[in-house]
Copies of this chain bind each other. A is one copy, B any other.
């Protein structure tokens, strides 16, 4: 609303017609100016709200970061943008991501200490936003980032990313392209960044920081759940040191195979967790059977074969894993219906279980036991292929064949998944 002078007293003082007409023209100009200014502000707000929606609608940190960069470029009108995040372990900033073709070239691991030797480092250190309108002449402009690309940073607007008052990163807008109201080019040969750009980017930065933080919390928790399952699965394997590392290798082979199948991110996640937990039921098998350094006899086998059911009984109460537990329960079923515990057939067997069945059998074949040497990978491969449509799902065997060639699965090693 700035710029509009109210002329309430005008009619009281007699004025000439030309004066009045000139007043009208002036008022018209002012209206035009004010409405344009307000419209620009409304447009920016709409853009900001649109990007808040997008940023808040996912817990995928990659999607959030890409949208944050896109939003930065559109909001302040600049050539490209970048995000640095604070590495909590080292206390350094790392170049997380940058936009556009030039940005991709810069996506190497650039690390900057949090100090006054770089612009991003300074912003992270002080927690204050900064405009540098002639970056090339600023001695803090990092030589490190300069040398990495032909991209010339002319000017730079940097705002801190803060969560609960703590700096977690820095968001930068690089090379201003246009501005409203129009202003002359700055020293760097492009329009300068102004304080209104800074305010606008600060508005966005709060939402970017929150969205990234939420996504990281979610991802850490997911890793926490997976690591916990892995730790416990391995602790059970320790009892039988001849199968040590088996669950981890079954995860590795399962994921190799799943890569060549048409599975969603969620399904891949389920395969991974079911694979790590597939033998967890062995926790309920007596030591003397589990630790036996010889083939099991006719009395021991039926007990050992209860482990899929036992594992299912343990985990079925975990509501969060309701799509995972069938993968554990049915990993010893066979495509031809001759497996256990239920004798399911063909597509009655959940896909996760069919994938784990192949991975589990393959690892069991190539691994050594106290009473026999591990089989040759190529021989084991041939056995799996031969059993397509009998023991194994043909679709999974097809994916296994592709994985065998492309994923270096033909190496007989206990460290496959390390």
Contacts and interface: CB of A to CB of B under 8 A. Distances in A.
Nearest to A290: B287
A231 B315 contact: yes
A198 B17 CA distance: 47
Contacts of A239: 284
Contacts of A320: 220-221, 223-224, 227-228
A53 B207 contact: yes
A125 interface: no
A164 to B, nearest CB: 8
Interface string A275-315: 00000100110111000000000000000000000000011
Interface in A42-99: 42, 45-46, 48-49, 52-53, 55-57, 59
A51 to B, nearest CB: 10
A52 B231 contact: no
Given A35-B38, A236-B283, A231 B318 contact: yes
A203 interface: yes
Interface in A1-38: 1, 4, 6-8, 10-11, 17, 20-21, 23-25, 27-28, 30-31, 34-35, 38
Given A45-B49, A283-B232, A11 B7 contact: no
B35 A7 contact: no
Contacts of A225: 221, 224-225, 228
B318 A49 contact: no
A218 interface: yes
Contacts of A146: none
A155 to B, nearest CB: 26
Interface in A159-174: 163
A212 to B, nearest CB: 11
Interface string A253-280: 0000000000000000000000000001
A20 B269 CA distance: 74
Contacts of A39: 1
A280 B39 CA distance: 63
A388 to B, nearest CB: 34
Contacts of A238: 284
Contacts of A287: 286-288
A229 B42 CA distance: 51
B59 A56 contact: no
A230 to B, nearest CB: 8
Contacts of A48: 49
A306 to B, nearest CB: 13
A203 B49 CA distance: 8
A321 interface: yes
Given A52-B52, A59-B217, 4 more contacts: A11-B21, A11-B24, A214-B214, A224-B320
15 contacts: A4-B35, A6-B28, A17-B17, A20-B24, A24-B27, A30-B31, A49-B52, A53-B207, A53-B210, A55-B56, A221-B225, A225-B225, A227-B317, A232-B283, A232-B314
Interface of A: 1, 4, 6-8, 10-11, 17, 20-21, 23-25, 27-28, 30-31, 34-35, 38-39, 41-42, 45-46, 48-49, 52-53, 55-57, 59, 163, 203, 206-207, 210-211, 214, 217-218, 220-225, 227-229, 231-232, 234-236, 238-239, 280, 283-284, 286-288, 314-315, 317-321
